[in-house]
């Protein structure tokens, strides 16, 4: 029969002491890492707005009002929409198609909205133009992208410039307004889906 | 008159009151993981300039390294940290007879020559940090000058919004 020896109260007290992990060096490391990462990390999310003036656009240079001068040759009798959005005084937006400048179906104005240009109405208007005048893609065209060194496939439409819009504005128009206009011309949200409108924007000076 | 402490109180050891670092560690770990997750190398490619306020836009294109300059209310500036260097002043930008900015034209030509001498492929890319209040007239002059100097890909730096 084994004899059970009871530990003395002093011994029992000593063995009960808890052993805790020393977290102080880990905390020191954290305190150094966090300011370092905070200084390196980007607090503002930057992006690039790519503006690539098409080669054809620079040759054409004009848009609305130059239909008499630039008559297409027999080989180039493709329909061009020549969509132009013009920001004018009193926050009025003018829309022109097929180089028309007479008020009607192909040239009209969008009055000012609350506190500035009515980009919401413009977005709706561009969507209806896309549906009515451009329609659905009729095919695909491959273009070589020199940046990525790959072939980009772009949809083609019944009008040759189905993805293009020219933008003109008053000389005093701030850059933020131009950016907002470019965003408006690019997409429209329809049933939580983004419908492509006219992503190829060309900045021009109204003559 | 002070009473003498009892026997048990005499033997009581004074226990050290240590600060519990566990909750602090939890917080630090969460912050650290969040920072590591949000850290991106692309953010370091372009640093927003102190001389301007960038516009906001809905864009997805990631920043890339290219020849860069600023368009501010003080004119076209070199994208350098510290002291600003004016490439084209407001007098050039506001001159209605000028469609090509001589200062910027010279700057772009120098950069192009430098690349040619250093045998670096010239891609014709330029990144512009443009102030949100910069007038459209100035913007057109800058774009026109870039086009004249065969810089055909122009990227504007914007603050991404959802």
For A144-183, the pLDDT digits (tens) are: 666 666 677 778 888 888 889 999 999 999 999 999 999 9
Q: How far from chain centre, in Å, is Cα A160?
A: 23
CB atoms within 10 A of CB A104: 9
Residues of B in contact with A166 (CB under 8 A): none
Best of A9, A26, A49 to disrupt the B interface (most B CBs within 10 Å) is A49
B137 in A contact zone (CB under 8 Å): yes
Residue with the bigger pLDDT between A187 and B80: it is A187
Residue-range domain boundaries for chain A:
80-204
For B140-151, the pLDDT digits (tens) are: 999 999 988 988
A66-89: b or e for each residue (b if 16 or more CB lie within 10 Å)?
A: eeeeeeeeeeeeeebbbbbbbbee
pLDDT value, residue B131: 94
For B50-64, the pLDDT digits (tens) are: 888 999 988 777 778
Domain A80-204 CATH (choose: 3.30.70, 1.10.760, 2.60.120, 3.30.420): 3.30.420
For A17-33, the pLDDT digits (tens) are: 667 778 888 888 888 88
A150 in B contact zone (CB under 8 Å): no
For B27-39, the pLDDT digits (tens) are: 888 988 888 877 6
- Checking if the pLDDT of B41 tops 60, the result is no
Task: For residue A20, give the chain B residue with the closest CA.
Answer: B20
Contact B61 A50 (CB under 8 A): yes
- Checking if the pLDDT of B159 tops 80, the result is yes
Q: How does the average pLDDT of chain A come out, rounded? A: 79
- pLDDT band, very low/low/confident/very high, at A38 (cuts 50, 70, 90): confident
Predicted complex: ipTM over 0.85: no
- pLDDT band, very low/low/confident/very high, at A193 (cuts 50, 70, 90): confident
pTM: 0.73
Separation between Cα atoms, residue B141 and residue B97, nearest integer Å: 11
B154 in A contact zone (CB under 8 Å): yes
For A91-132, the pLDDT digits (tens) are: 999 999 998 888 988 999 999 988 899 999 999 999 999 999
């Amino acid at each position: 029969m084994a004899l059970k020896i009871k530990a003395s109260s002093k011994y029992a007290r000593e063995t009960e002491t808890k052993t805790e992990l020393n977290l102080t060096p880990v905390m020191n490391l954290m305190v150094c890492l966090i300011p370092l990462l905070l200084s390196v990390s980007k607090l503002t999310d930057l992006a690039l707005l790519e503006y690539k003036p098409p080669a054809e656009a620079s040759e054409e240079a004009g848009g609305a009002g130059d239909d008499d001068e630039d008559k297409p040759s027999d080989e180039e009798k493709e329909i061009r929409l020549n969509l132009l959005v013009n920001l004018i005084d009193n926050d009025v937006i003018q829309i022109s198609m097929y180089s028309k400048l007479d008020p009607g179906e192909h040239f009209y104005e969008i009055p000012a909205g609350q506190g500035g240009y009515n980009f919401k109405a413009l977005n709706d208007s561009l969507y209806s133009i896309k549906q009515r005048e451009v329609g659905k893609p009729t095919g695909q065209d491959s273009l070589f992208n020199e940046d990525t060194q790959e072939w980009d496939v772009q949809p083609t439409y019944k009008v040759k410039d189905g993805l293009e819009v020219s933008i003109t504005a008053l000389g005093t128009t701030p850059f933020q307004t131009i950016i907002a206009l470019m965003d408006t011309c690019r997409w429209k949200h329809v049933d939580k889906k983004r419908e492509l409108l006219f992503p190829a924007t060309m900045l021009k000076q109204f003559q | 008159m002070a009473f003498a402490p009892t026997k048990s109180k005499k033997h009581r050891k004074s226990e050290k009151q240590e600060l519990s670092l566990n909750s602090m560690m939890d917080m630090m770990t969460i912050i650290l993981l969040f920072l590591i997750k949000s850290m991106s190398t692309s953010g370091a490619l372009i640093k927003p300039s102190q001389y301007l306020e960038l516009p906001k836009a809905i864009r997805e294109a990631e920043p890339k390294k290219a020849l860069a300059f600023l368009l501010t209310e003080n004119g076209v500036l070199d994208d350098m940290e510290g002291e600003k260097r004016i490439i084209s002043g407001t007098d050039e930008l506001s001159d209605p007879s000028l469609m090509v900015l001589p200062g910027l034209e010279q700057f772009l030509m120098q950069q192009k020559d430098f690349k040619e001498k250093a045998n670096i492929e010239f891609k014709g890319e330029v990144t512009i940090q443009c102030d949100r209040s910069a007038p459209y007239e100035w913007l057109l002059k800058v774009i026109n000058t870039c086009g004249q100097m065969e810089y055909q890909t122009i990227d504007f730096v914007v603050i991404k919004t959802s």
